[in-house]
């Protein structure tokens, strides 16, 4: 088995040692020397693989100081292996292995490090056999044989990192980082000096436990450094997304829109009931279970032409105009025959395919636009070819928008209003209103307004 080093050439290391990783930018990290482990490992969060030329590299974050998560070092190193490790319960997990140089006392040599989630462990690093063999001999009774750092020295080494973190750490909980709205939110957060981390709803999961509830991310990283969460939950993942938001909320993280508010706004029937209960005018709306009531349902909303809406619709996809009573009856009964919940609604003809979108943030209308449907179309949604333009809203409309957002308890809301002969009527309230149309129409930086709303709630002042 190769050359064996002479025993008296080996240096003695203790059961714990201070390691320095100059290439990773880690000035000192305490390691448990563990000859039982083959490869050395280090605690790593937000692990991301990327390409650097033809090589694969890994970017990851390390919290080098035990029991202190405020110091975060972002490290980069070449990826040398992906290993499958089996946990004690037999579940295989992939671990990335990187290569870098380690300094122990005055010795510098190359080392392979497994990136592990060691959050629950006392030491942020384990020094395994591969790093020890042929170089050191372990005396577990001793500590810091290679070099020791005092508390003051550690403080000094990390002083710049402690001062560096001035902005907030904000999570954007969504599904697609390339959507205009999401890109703008990240951009606006970073422009104000914050760190914005994109979290994919479907890659996050939770641990329910009274002592240490957690949110984890694919790969086992614990997400516990966030000051705030911006939820942008698409309708198909409402249930799961809201469960995650509740978990963040339980962990004391401020959420720009609560799970409860999002859930309420996603249910058009429930939201409409809340509106009518709170004296907010909406188009006359009916909801019935049995086809036997269809005829009266139609009469109730003043007959055709009338609107039929799927309960969970967005982008205007589930909104239908029935021109005659006969057509209305067959469409309503067709939906009922496939157990689909629908609302039947009075058609506001005089709106002429126009509606108004008010963007509400923390109780204020921060922007508004008019949307005009395409020719021959009654739905004004941008996704249905609607065209946005600037509009000056009346104070009555402004009050209506603010009140609707307040009743649903939404910090950020897209409130849709339609102008009728009876005055402005509330159409619906969206909890993840898009930014593209409204920023384009108004020229305003709405993403910036959202970020500043978080700063205000957290009493954050930049220096």
Ligand X SMILES: Nc1ncnc2c1ncn2[C@@H]1O[C@H](COP(=O)(O)OP(=O)(O)OP(=O)(O)O)[C@@H](O)[C@H]1O
Q: How far is the CB of 221 from ligand X (least distance, A)?
A: 34
Of residues 426-445, those binding Mg ion (CB under 5 A): 428
Cα–Cα dist 279/138, whole Å: 76
Omega prior to 305 cis, within 30 of 0: yes
Cα–Cα dist 388/431, whole Å: 20
Q: Does 372 bind Mg ion (CB under 5 A)?
A: no
Q: How far is the CB of 314 from ligand X (least distance, A)?
A: 4
Beta carbons within 10 angstroms of residue 110's beta carbon: 10
Cα–Cα dist 427/275, whole Å: 10
Q: Find the part of the chain contacting ligand X (CB under 6 A) among 24-32, 69-77, 114-122, 317-325.
A: 317-325
Cα–Cα dist 373/1, whole Å: 78
Q: How far is the CB of 104 from ligand X (least distance, A)?
A: 60
Q: Token match 């008296």: residue? A: 8
Q: Find the part of the chain contacting ligand X (CB under 6 A) among 127-135, 225-233, 307-315, 451-459.
A: 307-315
Residue 315: contacted member of ligand X, Mg ion, none (CB under 5 to 8 Å, by partner type): ligand X
Q: Does 409 bind Mg ion (CB under 5 A)?
A: no
Residue 307: contacted member of Mg ion, ligand X, none (CB under 5 to 8 Å, by partner type): ligand X
Q: How far is the CB of 358 from Mg ion (least distance, A)?
A: 12
Q: Minimal CA–CA distance to 369: which of 449, 436, 282?
A: 436
Residue 424: contacted member of ligand X, Mg ion, none (CB under 5 to 8 Å, by partner type): none
Beta carbons within 10 angstroms of residue 455's beta carbon: 20
Q: Minimal CA–CA distance to 354: which of 294, 424, 404?
A: 424
Q: Token match 């000859």: residue? A: 35
Q: Find the part of the chain contacting ligand X (CB under 6 A) among 81-89, 124-132, 178-186, 305-313.
A: 305-313
Cα–Cα dist 61/23, whole Å: 14
DSSP state of 79: E
Q: Token match 């004296």: residue? A: 279
Q: Which of 40, 264, 430, 431 binds ligand X (CB under 6 A)?
A: 430
Burial category of 141 from C-beta neighbours within 10 Å (exposed 0-12, middle 13-18, buried 19 and up): exposed
> Which residues pair with residue 75 across a beta bridge?
60
Residue 16: contacted member of Mg ion, ligand X, none (CB under 5 to 8 Å, by partner type): none
Cα–Cα dist 181/409, whole Å: 22
> Are the CB atoms for 28 and 20 separated by under 8 Å?
yes
Q: Does 283 bind ligand X (CB under 6 A)?
A: yes
Q: How far is the CB of 321 from ligand X (least distance, A)?
A: 8
Cα–Cα dist 362/170, whole Å: 18
> Are the CB atoms for 18 and 28 separated by under 8 Å?
yes
Q: Does 226 bind ligand X (CB under 6 A)?
A: no
Q: Which of 34, 195, 227, 416 binds Mg ion (CB under 5 A)?
A: 416
Q: Which residue is nearest to Mg ion (CB)?
A: 416
Q: Which of 24, 307, 365, 407 binds ligand X (CB under 6 A)?
A: 307
> Are the CB atoms for 228 and 411 separated by under 8 Å?
no
- Secondary structure class of 48 (helix, strand, coil): strand
Q: Token match 């279970």: residue? A: 289
Residue 48: contacted member of ligand X, Mg ion, none (CB under 5 to 8 Å, by partner type): none
Q: How far is the CB of 346 from ligand X (least distance, A)?
A: 6
Q: Does 388 bind Mg ion (CB under 5 A)?
A: no
> Are the CB atoms for 135 and 107 separated by under 8 Å?
yes
Binding mask 366-405 for ligand X (x = CB under 6 A): ------------xxxx------------------------
Q: Which of 101, 147, 169, 314 binds Mg ion (CB under 5 A)?
A: 314
Q: How far is the CB of 427 from ligand X (least distance, A)?
A: 5
Nearer to ligand X, 232 or 379 (CB): 379
Torsion region of 25: left, alpha or beta (phi above 0 gives left; psi -120 to 50 gives alpha)? left
Number of amino acids touching ligand X (CB under 6 A)? 25
Residue 348: contacted member of Mg ion, ligand X, none (CB under 5 to 8 Å, by partner type): ligand X
Binding mask 331-370 for ligand X (x = CB under 6 A): --------------xxxx--x---x---------------
Chain residues binding Mg ion by CB under 5 A are 314, 416, 428
Q: Which residues bind ligand X (CB under 6 A)?
A: 283, 307, 309, 313-319, 345-348, 351, 355, 378-381, 416, 418, 427-428, 430
């Amino acid at each position: 088995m190769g050359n064996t080093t002479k025993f008296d050439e080996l240096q003695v290391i203790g059961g714990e040692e201070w390691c320095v990783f100059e290439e990773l930018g880690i000035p000192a990290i305490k390691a448990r020397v563990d000859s039982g482990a083959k490869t050395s490992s280090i605690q790593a969060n937000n692990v991301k693989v990327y390409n650097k030329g033809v090589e694969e590299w890994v970017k990851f974050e390390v919290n080098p100081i035990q029991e202190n998560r405020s110091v975060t070092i972002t490290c980069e190193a070449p990826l040398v292996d992906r290993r499958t490790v089996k946990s004690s319960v037999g579940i295989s997990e992939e671990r990335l292995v990187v290569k870098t140089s380690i300094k122990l006392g005055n010795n510098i040599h190359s080392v392979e490090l497994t990136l592990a989630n060691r959050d629950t462990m006392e030491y942020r690093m384990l020094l395994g056999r591969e790093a020890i063999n042929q170089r050191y001999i372990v005396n577990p009774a001793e500590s810091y044989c290679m070099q020791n750092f005092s508390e003051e020295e550690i403080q000094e080494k990390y002083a710049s990192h402690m001062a560096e973190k001035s902005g907030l750490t904000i999570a954007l909980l969504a599904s697609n980082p390339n959507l205009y709205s999401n890109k703008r939110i990240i951009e606006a957060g970073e422009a104000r000096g914050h760190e914005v981390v994109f979290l994919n709803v479907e890659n996050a999961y939770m641990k329910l436990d009274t002592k240490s509830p957690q949110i984890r991310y694919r790969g086992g990283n614990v997400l516990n450094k966030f000051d705030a969460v911006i939820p942008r939950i698409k309708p198909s993942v409402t249930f799961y997304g809201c469960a995650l938001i509740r978990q963040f909320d339980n962990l004391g993280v401020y959420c720009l829109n609560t799970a409860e508010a999002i859930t309420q706004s996603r249910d058009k029937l429930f939201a409409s009931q809340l509106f009518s209960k709170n004296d907010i005018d909406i188009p006359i709306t009916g909801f019935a279970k049995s086809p036997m009531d269809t005829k009266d349902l139609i009469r109730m909303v003043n007959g055709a032409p009338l609107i039929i809406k799927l309960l969970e619709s967005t982008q205007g996809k589930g909104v239908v105009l029935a021109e005659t009573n006969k057509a209305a009856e067959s469409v309503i009964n067709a939906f009922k025959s496939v157990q689909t919940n629908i609302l039947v609604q009075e058609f506001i003809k005089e709106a002429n395919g126009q509606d108004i979108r008010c963007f509400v943030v923390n109780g204020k209308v921060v922007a508004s636009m008019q949307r005009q449907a395409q020719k021959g179309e009654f739905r004004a949604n941008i996704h249905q070819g609607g065209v946005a333009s600037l509009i000056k809203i009346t104070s009555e409309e402004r009050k209506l928008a603010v009140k609707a957002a307040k009743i649903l308890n939404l910090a950020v809301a897209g409130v849709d209003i339609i102008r009728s002969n009876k005055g402005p009527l509330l159409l619906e309230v969206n909890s993840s209103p898009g930014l593209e149309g409204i920023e384009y129409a108004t020229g305003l930086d709405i993403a910036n307004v959202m970020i500043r709303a978080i700063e205000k709630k957290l009493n954050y002042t930049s220096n």
